[in-house]
Amino acid sequence: MRILVSGGAGFIGSHTVVRLIENGYDVTVFDNLYNSKITVLDKIEKITGVRPDFRLCDMLDYDSLENIFKEDHYDAVIHFAGYKAVGESIEKPLMYYDNNIRGTLNLLELMSKYNVKNLIFSSSATVYGIPDKCPVDETAKLFCLNPYGRTKLMIEEILRDLCIADKDFAAVLLRYFNPVGAHPSGLIAEDPNGIPNNLMPRIIQAAKGEIKELKVFGDDYETRDGTCIRDYIHVLDLADGHVAALNYVFKNRGSVAVNLGTGNGLTVLELINAFEKVNNIKVPHSFAPRREGDSMSTYADASLAKKLFGWEAKLTVDDMCRDAWKGALNYE
């Protein structure tokens, strides 16, 4: 079976491609390399022994995207491609709506035209905004605090509408919590463009001495140590979640949204401490004011993924910290 992976050269995409190949799927990746490098293909080949087919393609370029659909038949599409920086989306909302929404519409139109009716979509726990309660399950109310998040929510709505209109179409909307870690080989890892905003890349910069210290945003939340709680999940567990979701999408029609998290909440300080301990390195840090728009606590009720896909996260916080550091040291 051949799977088309949009954004397959990126962080979560490349790890998923590895797992797809290891599970016997043929893979075609397309990516515009806006936030990724072509060398990732060599690394995927080194890990799996197989080089995925690659097409340099921007999903906004309808004709070039159509050529990919003309070349082969795909049994399913896994759709990662999209802009993902919260701050940038506030500064450039039209760029985010244009790329993420129009790009997805192009993809969906071509899927319909070429009779590809199975989709896994890369959504995010960001659609829960600031949850009223945790663990948060898929029935929680949805709202977003920034244009990036709204593009995820709008695409979810588009897919729900499409599955109502076309009874042959199936879409699994995977709501990721906080992906961290890297392939244990250290060959593929997160490679944020410009100045990273997320916690793990900032921890790594502080550990490397690239920044003087990590700013911990807020020490006065009502949590066990005053810092925010998140559900960090190893990117390889996340990748396995996609393989499990594929098995589901082939057997079911309609749309379903499913959390991919561990179900365990960790504070910012707990993650820093785990990183320092497992890697035997200091992460210089100090407290700064709360960051606007941050939820105090967001962690998953991950039971639906187990029920529907038989999937649950297996890797530990120590695995996440060790692999993230190894990836950061090895990554070229």
Angle CA 203–207–208, to nearest 5? 120
Smallest gap from residue 124 Cβ to ligand UFG (A): 4
Nearest of 228, 211, 301 to residue 270 by alpha carbon: 228
Among 29, 65, 171, 228, binds ligand UFG (CB under 6 A): 228
Contacts of 196 (CB under 8 A, 6+ apart): 202, 205
Check if 148 is active-site.
Answer: yes
- Which one among 40, 207, 216, 320 touches ligand UFG, defined by CB under 6 A? 216
Three-state SS for 302? Answer: coil
Q: By CB under 6 A, is residue 160 in contact with ligand UFG?
A: no
Under the binding rule (CB under 6 A), the answer on residue 215 touching ligand UFG is yes
Radius of gyration of the chain (CA): 19
C-alpha to C-alpha distance for 320 and 301, rounded to whole angstroms: 20
User: 172 with 249: CB under 8 angstroms?
Assistant: yes
- The piece of 35-43, 74-82, 153-161, 198-206 that touches ligand UFG (CB under 6 A) is 198-206
Which tokens sit at 29?
């990746």
* 144 binds ligand UFG per the rule CB under 6 A: no
Minimum separation from the CB atom of position 178 to ligand UFG (A): 5
| Residue 120 or 228 with smaller CB distance to ligand UFG | 228
CB of 86 to ligand UFG, least distance (A): 6
Q: Does 19 bind ligand UFG (CB under 6 A)?
A: no
Cβ–Cβ < 8 Å for 4, 78 = yes
Question: Is 223 a residue that touches ligand UFG (CB under 6 A)?
Answer: no
Q: What is the DSSP letter of 232?
A: E
- For the bound state, the minimum distance from the C-beta of residue 11 to ligand UFG, rounded and expressed in Å, comes to 11
Binding to ligand UFG, residues 264-283 (CB under 6 A) = 268
How far apart (Å, rounded) are the C-alpha atoms in residues 231 and 297?
A: 9
Please state the closest distance from residue 253 (CB atom) to ligand UFG, in A. Answer: 28
Residues 77-96 that bind ligand UFG (CB under 6 A): 84, 86
Give the number of residues written for the chain: 332
Provide φ and ψ at 160, rounded to 5°. -65, -45
Pairing of the two strands 170-176 and 118-124: parallel
Stretch that binds ligand UFG, among 28-36, 38-46, 71-79, 124-132 (CB under 6 A): 124-132
| Torsional sign, CA 261, 262, 263, 267 | negative
Calpha distance 65→147 (Å, rounded): 25
234 sits near ligand UFG (criterion: CB under 6 A): no
Piece in contact with ligand UFG (CB under 6 A), picked from 19-27, 73-81, 193-201, 320-328 = 193-201
Check 128, 148, 176, 248 and give the catalytic one: 148
* Candidate ranges 158-166, 181-189, 257-265, 291-299; the one touching ligand UFG (CB under 6 A): 291-299
Among 199, 238, 249, 266, contact with ligand UFG (rule: CB under 6 A): 199
Q: Measured from the CB atom, is 28 or 297 closer to ligand UFG?
A: 297
If one asks whether residue 126 binds ligand UFG (CB under 6 A), the answer comes out as: yes
C-alpha 288/C-alpha 86 separation (Å) is: 19
Query: Using CA atoms, how far apart are residues 308 and 287, in angstroms rounded to an integer?
Result: 41
298 binds ligand UFG (CB under 6 A): yes
Furthest CA-CA distance within the chain: 56
Q: Does 217 engage in binding with ligand UFG (CB under 6 A)?
A: yes
* Residue that the structure tokens 């550091």 belong to: 325
Q: What is the contact surface with ligand UFG in residues (CB under 6 A)?
A: 84, 86, 124-126, 178, 197-199, 202, 214-217, 228, 230, 268, 291, 294, 298
Catalytic residue list: 148
